[in-house]
Each structure stands twice: as structure tokens, then as C-alpha cells.
Amino acid sequence: MPFFHTRLENGLTVLVETVPTARSVAVGFFVNTGARDETEAEAGVSHFLEHMTFKGTARRSAWDVNRDFDRIGAAYNAYTSEENTVFYAAVLPEYLPVAFDILADILRPSLRPEDFETEKKVILEEIRMYEDVPESVAWEHARKLYYNGHPLGHSILGTQSSIQALTREQMLAYFERRYGAANIVVSVAGPIDAELVTSLARQHCGQWFRGSSGRTDRREWRRDPGTFVLTRERVLQEHVMLLTAGPPAGSPHRFAGDILAMAIGDDRGSRLYWELVDPGHAESADCNYYEHDGSGCIHTSFSCEAEVAEANLERVQRILAEVQQHGITDEELRVAKNKIASRIVRASERPMGRMSSLARQWLTTGSYHDVDTELRLYDAVQLDDIRTCLDLYPVDTCTVIAFGPAQRLAGVDAIVV
């Protein structure tokens, strides 16, 4: 599939992969900013700003934005993570110019004071909603405790107090600091011509201010093992997470880290599945690899009744210790590769999948991999590479965070949160 990239004079990066057989086109604006790029005083501003982009521009009201997307049958949305804020749409090819116009327009929002105050109430309600979801509460505390002292521990939503105190002027200053063209990647995939995309980028984004790019704190994070037990009324299940360092984005060991996590904790056929889920010891158990900018993480978790949490924690720790000592088997390596290959190929069959993959690769490695190259990189991983990854990033030196009804776990008394 032909690939093209260019950088406009103001620093905006444009990526295009032409997929002649596709019947739709996907376009995404990836702003290289998220919760980790916020100061303490502006916690939650990235996600708040994502909401504000849909509230209107100099050319469109909030109603116009939704109407214009709806008129072309677009599937569109946005999301905020620790590291990126992404705005995207999938449309029929003939409507790419309109979709591009709308997305570029909302990335220069009006930020009207009245809209700011109205949307602040929406954000506060969203925070309250997630505070009622035990899995979300558990993950929020786990990230904060594991990354204590590192910006990857920042909350994406922020807190009630930080959002209440946030001002429009703070949001505007953040926008001017992080939403410059040099800090944005536009990614497009589908049956389209690269010259058309470049022309659209120059037309709609060529006058954007350049701004700064990158982030200042990209240090690798490792934390000494420890255990934290948290509790709250009316939580029925125990949610236990074990976090440890993994290869960062751009590391040559990231492919081994992904395979390793798949072998340990895929939701079907992994060591955790057969040890915890299949026998009925836990409702769920998995292991995932997160390749963050500068500092990766391997995250193992399970959910179960509080009465069996201690025994399940011992099971998980035993599995991780065995993997750390002996690695994984040839069969586990082969199966994990097949699952990852299937994941990559299935995602690549949709322009949305390719569009997202292009941007993620570029933001994390500054390079492009077609599907065949990505498959080869995973297929090249051997047991020796798994061993090297384990030596560099031991999976059994974990920070344990439990949230649920248990009053004590692993010899540690619970703290009410």
C-alpha cells in the first residue's frame, strides 16, 4: 500500500496510506498531548478541552458541527488518553474534503466563556459517574500509586476540585502551549490521493500557529515493589492489579513485551486464563503491555470475590515468578504470535485501523511500518528475545494495588478511599 508523508511549513505532519480496495476513508488529527502533559493546577484540562472543541468555532455552532458530520454520514468521535488527544471520522471517499474541513475547524475552537461553564458541569458529572464504577476507581488509584512522582500517574478526567478551579484562561494557555501545528499529526487511510490530502491540509491548517512540540518529561519509570489495599462501602468484588516496568515505546524490546503479556494473560488460552478463569477462581484475569512514551508498563489484573483474593494473588504471583525464572514455551510463543498477527491483520482491513496505526507508529517511533513489516517484526521474536526482555524488565517485581471489600490482603490493612 503506497505511503506518503510530509511536513508543512508550520510543522504539521501529514501521513497518508492509500488503500485502493477500501470503500471508506478514515481521517484523524492526533494531538501529541494528554494528561501527562498537564500541570497539577490544570489536571483534567486535556479531556475538558476535547469536549470544548465540539462546542463551536468561529464558523460553526455546536449544532452545526453535529449537523455537518451527520449530513455526510460520518462515524466520528474523539478521545483523550495519558499521551494523546485524538479527533477522527470515517466517511465515504467523496466526503473526505468535508470531514477534513470539520475536523480542522473544531481544532480551532471558540472556547466561549458560557460554553466553558456549561461543559464544566458535564465534566463534573462524568467524574461522578466514573466514581461509581469500581473498575475505573481501581485503575485510577493503581495508576496514581504506581506512577507516584511521574506524569503518567496523572488523572485523565482530573478531580472534582481541579475541574471546579479550572479557568477558561488556563485552558486557553494550555491550548496555545500544546495545540500548535508542530505538535499534531494528521493521518489518513483509504482509497484517496496523497496530493488531495496535502492540499486539504494546506488549505485548512496551513495558517495554524507552529507552537512547540514534544514533551519535557520522558524518563523511564521503575518502582520498588509494594502493596496497597484500598476499600470502600458497597463494592462487591475485589479488583487486584500488579504493575511493573515494561519496554517503552520505540524500544526494540516492545515486540517481545507484547508477546510476553499475551502469553501470560490473554483472555483465552493463556496461563492466567487456565489457572484462574477456567477453574472458576476469578471472574476475569488478564495481562497487558502498555508502550508509553519513554516508559512502558506490564499490567496484570484479576477480579474475584474478596474471600478468594488472597489465594488468587498467590496464584498470579507464582505464575509471574515461573515466567521470570523459566520464560515461556515454544508453544506459547507460537500461539501468542498467531494471536497478535490476527489482531494486526483484522485491524488493517479497515481504514480506521490503518489510520490509527499510522499515527501511533509515527508518534512513538517516528517511522512507518506497513502491515507486512509489522508482522515480520513480531515473527522475528525468539525465546532468547523473551529472555532478554525478562532480564531487562522483570515481570515479578510488581506493585500490587487492590480495591474492593477486603479489609486486609497480603498482610496489609485496607485504607478507606
Three cell numbers, residue 168: 477558561
User: Hey, CA dihedral for 172, 128, 75, 114, is it positive or negative?
Assistant: negative
- 347-359 burial by CB neighbour count: b if 16+ within 10 A, else e? ebebbbbbbbbbb
Neighbours of 191 (CB within 10 A): 15
- Same domain, residue pair 31 and 170: yes
Strands 25-31 and 85-91: antiparallel
Q: What amino acid is encoded at 397 in this protein?
A: T
Last residue of a domain, one of 205, 239, 268: 205
- Same domain, residue pair 55 and 196: yes
Q: What amino acid is encoded at 300 in this protein?
A: T
Residue 348 lies in a domain: yes
Three cell numbers, residue 415: 485504607
- Same domain, residue pair 44 and 156: yes
pLDDT tens-digit series, residues 352-406: 999 999 999 999 889 999 999 999 999 999 999 999 999 999 999 999 999 999 9
- Same domain, residue pair 75 and 8: yes
Please report, rounded to a whole number, the percentage of residues in the chain having pLDDT higher than 90: 96
pLDDT above 80: residue 213: no
Instruction: Round to whole Å and give the CA distance between 179 and 11.
Output: 12
- Same domain, residue pair 42 and 144: yes
Q: What is the mean pLDDT of the chain?
A: 96
Residue 220 lies in a domain: no
pLDDT of residue 79: 98
Neighbours of 261 (CB within 10 A): 23
- Same domain, residue pair 371 and 269: yes
- Same domain, residue pair 183 and 289: no
- Same domain, residue pair 71 and 164: yes
Which CATH number covers residue 250?
Answer: 3.30.830.10
Instruction: Round to whole Å and give the CA distance between 334 and 349.
Output: 23
pLDDT tens-digit series, residues 47-62: 999 999 999 999 999 9
Last residue of a domain, one of 138, 173, 205: 205
Domain that holds residue 120: 3-205
Three cell numbers, residue 26: 478514515
Give the closest residue to 106 by CA, choosing from 51, 156, 157, 172: 51
What is the DSSP code string of 244-295? EEEPPTT-TTHHHHHHHHHHHH-TTTSHHIIIIITTTS-SEEEEEEE--SS-
